[in-house]
Amino acid sequence: MRALSQGSFSCYNYRWEEERYTDGSKWKFLEHKGPVFAPPYEPLPSNVKFYYDGKHMKLSPQAEEVATFFAKMLDHEYTTKEVFRNNFFKDWKKEMTPEEKSKITNLSKCDFTEMSEYFKAQTEARKQMSKEEKQKIKEENERIVQEYGFCVMDNHKERIANFRIEPPGLFRGRGDHPKMGMLKRRIRPEDVIINCSKDSKHPKPPPGTKWKEVRHDNKVTWLVSWTENIQGSIKYIMLNPSSRIKGEKDWQKYETARRLKKCVDQIRAQYRDDWKSKEMRIRQRAVALYFIDKLALRAGNEKEEGETADTVGCCSLRVEHIKLYPELNGQEFVVEFDFLGKDSIRYYNTIPVEKRVFKNLQLFLENKQPEDDLFDRLNTSILNKHLQELMDGLTAKVFRTYNASITLQQQLKELTCPEDNTPAKILSYNRANRAVAILCNHQRAPPKTFEKSMQNLQSKIDAKKDQLADARRELKSAKADAKVRKDEKTKKAVETKKKAVQRIEEQLMKLEVQATDREENKQIALGTSKLNYLDPRITVAWCKKWNVTIEKIYNKTQREKFAWAIDMADKDFEF
DNA sequence: TTCTGTACTTAGGAGCGACACC
DNA sequence: GGTGTCGCTCCTAAGTACAGAA
């Protein structure tokens, strides 16, 4: 592997040698066409009516548009939630004319069903379109991608990730979000900041409009930004993961994690030592770091109360999120974690910890209320400052990357049997991947059709087993036949039957492997760790070592994102 | 030190199209 | 040809991190 600092980087699209910028610039030249805006609102046909308190009411276009957002979500349980309904109604009223506002005073008296039916019919009609019509739409989409989906950054044509501006609609937060149902307003050119280089052809705003600003900031990587109205945060249009700028950043991330590998033993020794510190803040820091390292918890930045769902990470854990058991199920010093993490995904885990950690936790809990911070002398900024002193570039999240990648490597070593066939090897890979997903708590809702699809697979397996039994019987009788007759023809028949048995055995095994894999994956999402935490070079090396084609592990998008790794890792790569 | 704003990464789910199967 | 299944892509929310102002 080449050194990062040399900046040489050649893969499918990149066959060049160039210096990295050392002054913090991200590019010298940047040219693009600007964003694609959401299509304008098309008023409903006059036969699609809205009713208030049982009576037809024609809505003004603005009020109607917002009403359609609600109508489109009618089947979702969101619309039954109190918070959602209140937020929606409040924002909807802001879009009404004074007359509408005075009439429509109760959301429960609003009847959106005709609108809802109309949109369902439209979806259905879209499905029923002829091949030609569908092809035409596809081509039009393709044209837009060709025009707006690419930019030029320093001599390279690059794919843009999200060149379409988010359309207006109702905000759907995750979990118990206090702002769910609020109106996410339409973004206009006047809201948009364009970033490109001075000497590029600047994107043109749609006729009759202006950009909010055109700037030329090459210290950042984004092309377009705007401020959304729900949280007041900035949204960006950036490049695709396959781009040079994202690929290098990704590479750098894994290189930082590999540097941690070299000093992690020392860091662990130190935080263990710090459990004994005289200073409370150091003990807290040391215990938090232990959790981040051992359990791959997220850092846990503070959040503004009431602005978002109530979720926590390590530094923001509260007393109510852990329980201490001096003894539980035959194990000593057990900590039970139960809290909502990112995306309101529940983290539940009981783990035995060392006595010192346990005693420290007892100390941290003393005289506190359930809603008090567990680590009251600590936040992510303090923790990261400390980590920075231990290793250049070290932050809390590097531990997640490091532990994920090292786990994959170890698990692959442990689980891969050289004599296994390819499907079995892939099962081992998925199991190693799964170990990481479990560590990182990457969950998914079990697919709605899970039970059924499992049953289907099982009946396929049963059918295959029957088929195998038949084939074996046939083989047996062929053998008996051959023993009696002893001629070429019957001998040949035995060989054919033997092959058939073998083939069916292989098919059966493949199905069984598939069933195991699927069952074990019911509530676990492998994609997130594959995409964000596992050094792709580990995977590339494993594929090369065991002659598994990379296509079996990475799909096209993933191969594009990891082109740098596919290009540079050989079978001996060690994380 | 705390707060705020900004930039960028990480996350799960919806929806859609390809493909297998009947 | 119709239907069910599944993987992929897109979408955008929700994190982390850090700089600079207050």
β-sheet with A150-153: strand ranges across: A30-31, A150-153, A156-159
Residue A15: its pLDDT value, please?
38
- pTM comes to 0.88
Distance (Å, whole) CA A125 – CA A49: 20
- Which nucleotides in chain C lie closer than 7 A to a protein CB? 5-18
Residue A18: its pLDDT value, please?
54
User: What is the number of other CB atoms lying within 10 angstroms of the CB of residue A459?
Assistant: 9
Residue A3: its pLDDT value, please?
35
What interhelical angle do A396-415 and A536-545 show, nearest 10?
10
Pairing relationship of beta strands A193-195 and A213-215 according to DSSP bridges: parallel
Distance (Å, whole) CA A99 – CA A93: 11
Condensed to tens digits (0 to 9), the pLDDT of residues A476-528 reads 888 888 888 888 888 888 888 888 888 778 777 777 777 777 777 888 999 99
Integer distance in angstroms from CA A216 to C1' C18? 22
Contact A178, A307 (CB under 8 A): yes
Helix (H, G, I), strand (E, B) or coil at A376: coil
Quick check: A238 CB within 7 A of strand B? Answer: yes
Instruction: Pick the closest to residue A412 from A513, A509, A545 (CA basis).
Output: A545
User: What is the number of other CB atoms lying within 10 angstroms of the CB of residue A75?
Assistant: 10
What are φ and ψ of residue A272, in 5° steps? -65, -40
Quick check: A381 CB within 7 A of strand B? Answer: yes
Buried residues in A323-351 as b, exposed as e (16+ CB within 10 A)? eeeeeeeeeebbbebebbbeeebebeeee
User: What is the number of other CB atoms lying within 10 angstroms of the CB of residue A14?
Assistant: 19
What are φ and ψ of residue A92, in 5° steps? -65, -40
Residue A466: its pLDDT value, please?
79
Which residues of A are part of the catalytic machinery? 533
Helix (H, G, I), strand (E, B) or coil at A160: strand
Residue A423, both tokens: 């499907």
Nearest nt to the A195 alpha carbon by C1': B7
- Which nucleotides in chain B lie closer than 7 A to a protein CB? 2-3, 5-14, 16-17
Residues of chain A under the 50 pLDDT cut: 1-17
Helix (H, G, I), strand (E, B) or coil at A258: helix
C-alpha atoms less than 13 angstroms from C-alpha of A313 in its C-beta half-sphere: 21
